[in-house]
Amino acid sequence: MAHIPGFPSVHFGFEAVKELPGELKNRGIDRPLVITDQGLVKHGVCQKLLDALPSDIAVSVFDQIPENPTIAGVEGALAVYQENNCNGIIGLGGGSVLDSGKALRVATNQNMAVIEYLNDLSKITADVAPYITIPTTAGTGAEITFGGGIHPETNAPAISIRSIHVQPDLAICDPDFTMTLPPLLTAATGMDALTHCVEGFLSNNANPPTEAIALDGTRRVVDFIQRAVEDGSDREARLNMSMAALQGGMAIYMGLGPIHALSMCFGDSPLHHGTLVTVAMPAVMRFFNGKLEDGVLERFAEAMNLVADKDAGNRIADAVTEMNAKLGLPSTVREMGYEKTDVSRMIQEAHDSPFNLPSPIRPSMADYEQLVAEVLG
C-alpha cells in the first residue's frame, strides 16, 4: 500500500520571494529572526531578503551558523531570538542553516537543552516556532524535509533530528537566491540532489508518485548541472537545479540508503556533506548492480540518458564518476583531505546506520568493508 506524504507549502520560481510579506502577515509573524551565515551576508544575499520585507516588520538577524550545523550555532540563534522577542524564524541558506532552523524552532518554545531533545526525539512536540525556509543552494532539499543533522561539537559526528514537528511550514524556492553560489558548491550540492533522487527512488517505501518525482529530478540534474556550474548566471539552469533539489527533498521522504550511511561514517570531520555523498554514490551503484529487481536500475539509468540493460548499476556508477570529474569534484574521501585511519569504526558506523533501513538491500559488514575501502580511496 502506497503512502503519499504531505509536503510543506512551496512557492517556486523567480521572484517567489515577493510572496514572503503576505505569508508573514497570514501567519502573524511581525518579529522574525533570519538565521543565515556570514558568506551570504558578505555577498549581499541576506540584504536581498531584507529588502523584500516591508518596513513594519521588526526583523533580527543571526549570521553565525557554521559550515556544518552545531548545537552552539543553534544556541547562539536562540539567544538572539529570545533577546528580541521574535515570533518566527526565516532560514536563509543551505542545508546547515536550514537544519539549524529545525532545531531552533524546537528550542524556542520548549524548556530543555538542545542536546536533550536531540538525544530523545520523542520529547519534540508540536509546540514549535513558525518556520519559513529560503534555500540558497540547489541540492540539500532541507527546505522541505522533516529531518536533518546537528553536530554536538565541531567535527563530532552529527546527531539526527527527525520529527514531523521540525518540518518547515513553508518553503520559498526562488532560484535568484542561488545565483551567487560558487561553481564547486553548485556542483557538490547539485550532485547531492542526484543522490537524494536515487535513494528515494530505490527505497522500499517508494511509490509511483515519488518515483516519478525522483526520475524527473534526475533528468534535470543530468541536463542542467554542467550549465549551472559553467555559468552561474544561466537562469534556466539555476531554475531547473532548484527544482531538482526540491524534488530530491520530496524523494527522500521515502528514506535514504547506503550512500548516506557511508557519508555519515566520515562525519567526524568538516568535510562537505554534498561532496561526501557524491563520492560514495558510484561504489553503492556498483554494489547494487545485478542485485535488484529487474527494471529498477534500468529505469534510473534511462533517466540519466544511459543504456538501460542488466549492467545498469555499473553504467550509473561510471556516469557519476565521469560527471564528478567534469565538475571538478573528488573521487575519494582521501582526496577531500580525510586523514583518519580507524577503518573498523567507519565500517561499523556505516553498517549500523538507520539510513540502511529502507534500502532494497542492506549491505553486510563484509560488504561495507569493501564499500568503505572504495570510497575512502
Question: What is the mean pLDDT, run by run of 10 residues, along the chain of 377 residues?
Answer: 75 97 96 97 95 94 93 96 97 96 93 88 92 96 92 83 93 96 95 97 95 98 98 98 97 95 84 91 97 94 95 97 96 90 92 95 97 94
| Residue 269: predicted pLDDT | 75
The rounded distance, in Å, linking the Cα atoms of 60 and 347 is: 44
- Domain spans, the chain: 9-178, 183-376
Residue 18 pairs with which residues in a beta bridge?
A: none
| Residue 112: predicted pLDDT | 85
Kind and range of the H or E run holding 299: helix 296-303
pTM for the whole thing? 0.94
Please state whether beta strands 131-135 and 88-93 pair in parallel, antiparallel, or not at all (unpaired).
Answer: parallel
Fold (topology level) of 183-376: Dehydroquinate synthase-like, alpha domain (1.20.1090)
| Residue 300: predicted pLDDT | 97
Query: How far apart, in Å, are the Cα atoms of 356 and each of 19, 236, 362?
Result: 38, 35, 6
Which 3 state secondary structure label does DSSP give 139?
Answer: coil
Q: Which CATH architecture has domain 9-178?
A: 3-Layer(aba) Sandwich (3.40)
| Residue 110: predicted pLDDT | 82
CA dihedral angle for residue 210, residue 213, residue 217, residue 219, rounded to 10 degrees = 110
| Residue 35: predicted pLDDT | 98
| Residue 2: predicted pLDDT | 57
Residue 151 pairs with which residues in a beta bridge?
A: 70
The rounded distance, in Å, linking the Cα atoms of 197 and 319 is: 15
| Residue 5: predicted pLDDT | 66
